[in-house]
């Protein structure tokens, strides 16, 4: 008999807020976190905008000396984890560390450190490269640091599947608990890609919005004026627990994960499958895993990156999976406000689904002023909506054709399936 897996804590460091209340209030208020890049000189860049984390001090969460030995993506992960653990009311000194683990997603890991240390090598020679370079840069170090800080000796993995990374991480963590291999898993995603090289690479691909004169209006999923995604950074971490474990310690249960689907387009290194085959498969696998019929879903947090092909094909895939019910679904893309956190996007958007269920509010898709005729679903345009959400689904699709879908449900003590 499979174990049931619940969510008991969330921590957030994002472009729209560095704590859970600020994050949610800004999302439901339609506040954009996008602005002009402040981290480096963007002269010569076609895109000069990003959704940066603001007013964040790592030493509020990490010893100053240790913080200097970590990349920014690890700072974000440790801060979000500290908030998630607190939100869950979890006393880590009382848990069995052998039955607790970490699975995080990160697409590019410590790319800021990589760029900095390459400059050191080029300008000052190999003897001046930091001895902490490798353990700062490798993408598994955020999950490793979390385990070290909290004494979590169970499964510890970092998933890298581009923009599906943290959705895959959460799905894998869900399965670890479901199969009885852990009582608690810390999971989600972290990313810090707003660096000269990373932004230049995405600019060269022509993947980013160039609406530089209107940063807040640049991310506009499903709108005819969309011209690419807005790169973003941050971390969102969730505490997943086996249901009986959570109930035994008197935890507040926020929601339950009931389904996970993963697939690959097997089509192209960056372009989505032209008929959405992989996305359709991912959603169907997740619904089957949850034991749900399509018409039982109330809300979809779309991948919705604000790219011409991606938004259209996700719409097509939703119609294929949900049939006539697609017109009854509320669908929104919170990337219109947060930008695209790459490998951390799935963690953030899973948290959105949890909060939509808990708060009975669906965040909007902002900047939707001229809907694309090919994108003809209910995208909750521009203003949040009060709604009773019992079942939510979130999609994450990544370069390489990676697709991941999670099903989140309102927690009920007795579930007949």
Closest CA to 37 of 18, 53, 58: 53
As given in the structure block, the two tokens for residue 24 are: 């949610």
pLDDT tens per residue across span 29-46: 999 999 999 999 999 999
Model confidence, pTM: 0.97
In CATH, which superfamily holds the domain spanning 5-248? Answer: Thiolase/Chalcone synthase (3.40.47.10)
User: Is residue 261 scored above 70 in pLDDT?
Assistant: yes
163 annotated active-site? yes
- Per-residue pLDDT, averaged over 348-358, amounts to 98
In CATH, which superfamily holds the domain spanning 259-409? Answer: Thiolase/Chalcone synthase (3.40.47.10)
What is d(CA 55, CA 52) in angstroms, rounded to the nearest whole number?
10
User: Domain boundaries in the chain?
Assistant: 5-248, 259-409
DSSP 158: E
List of residues 6+ apart from 164 with CB closer than 8 A: 105, 262, 346, 396, 397, 398, 402, 403, 404
Burial class (CB in 10 A: 0-12, 13-18, 19+), 55: exposed
Give me the percent of the chain exceeding a pLDDT of 90.
98
At residue 1 the predicted structure's pLDDT band, cuts being 50, 70 and 90, is confident
- Per-residue pLDDT, averaged over 386-402, amounts to 97
> Is the distance from CB of 303 to CB of 310 less than 8 angstroms?
yes
43, 70, 117, 144 from 113: Cα distances, Å: 22, 9, 6, 17
Strand partners, 10: 238
**What is the three-class DSSP state of 314?**
helix
In this prediction, residue 417 carries a pLDDT of 61
Confirm whether 5-248 and 259-409 share one CATH topology: yes
- Per-residue pLDDT, averaged over 6-11, amounts to 98
In this structure, the number of other CB atoms found within 10 A of the CB of residue 339 comes to: 34
User: Is residue 415 scored above 80 in pLDDT?
Assistant: no
- Calculate Rg over the CA atoms of the chain: 20
Catalytic residue among 155, 163, 203, 353: 163
């Amino acid at each position: 008999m499979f174990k049931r897996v619940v969510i008991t804590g969330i921590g957030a460091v994002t472009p729209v807020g560095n704590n859970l209340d600020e994050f949610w209030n800004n999302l439901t208020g339609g506040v954009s976190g996008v602005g002009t890049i402040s981290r480096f000189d963007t002269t010569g860049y076609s895109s000069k905008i990003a959704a940066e984390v603001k007013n964040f001090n790592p030493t509020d969460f990490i010893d100053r000396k240790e913080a200097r030995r970590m990349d920014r993506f690890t700072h974000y992960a440790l801060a979000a984890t500290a908030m998630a653990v607190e939100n869950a009311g979890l006393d880590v000194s009382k848990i069995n560390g052998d039955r607790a683990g970490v699975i995080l997603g990160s697409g590019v890991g410590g790319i800021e450190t990589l760029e900095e240390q390459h400059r050191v090598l080029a300008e000052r020679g190999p003897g001046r490269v930091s001895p902490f370079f490798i353990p700062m840069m490798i993408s598994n170090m955020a999950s490793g640091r979390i385990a070290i800080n909290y004494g979590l000796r169970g499964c510890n993995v970092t998933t890298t599947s581009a923009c599906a990374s943290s959705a895959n991480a959460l799905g894998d963590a869900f399965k670890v608990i479901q199969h009885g291999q852990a009582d608690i898993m810390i999971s989600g995603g972290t990313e810090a890609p707003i660096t000269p090289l990373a932004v230049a690479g995405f600019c060269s691909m022509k993947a980013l919005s160039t609406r530089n004169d209107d940063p807040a209006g640049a991310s506009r999923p499903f709108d005819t004026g969309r011209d690419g995604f807005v790169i973003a950074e941050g971390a969102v971490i969730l505490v997943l627990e086996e249901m009986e474990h959570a109930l035994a310690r008197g935890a507040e249960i926020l929601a339950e994960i009931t389904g996970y689907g993963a697939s690959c387009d097997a089509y192209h290194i960056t372009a989505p499958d032209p008929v959405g085959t992989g996305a359709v498969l991912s959603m169907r696998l997740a619904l089957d895993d949850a034991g749900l019929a399509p018409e039982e879903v109330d809300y979809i947090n779309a991948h919705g990156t604000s790219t011409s092909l991606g938004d259209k094909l996700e719409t097509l895939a939703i119609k294929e999976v949900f049939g006539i019910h697609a017109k009854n679904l509320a669908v929104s893309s919170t990337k219109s406000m947060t930008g695209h956190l790459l490998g951390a996007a799935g963690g953030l958007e899973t948290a959105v689904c949890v909060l939509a269920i808990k708060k009975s509010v669906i965040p909007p898709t902002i900047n939707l002023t001229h809907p694309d005729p090919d994108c003809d679903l209910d995208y909750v345009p521009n203003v949040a909506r009060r709604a009773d959400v019992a079942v939510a689904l979130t999609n994450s699709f990544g370069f390489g054709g990676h697709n991941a879908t999670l099903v989140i449900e309102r927690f009920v003590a007795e579930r007949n399936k």
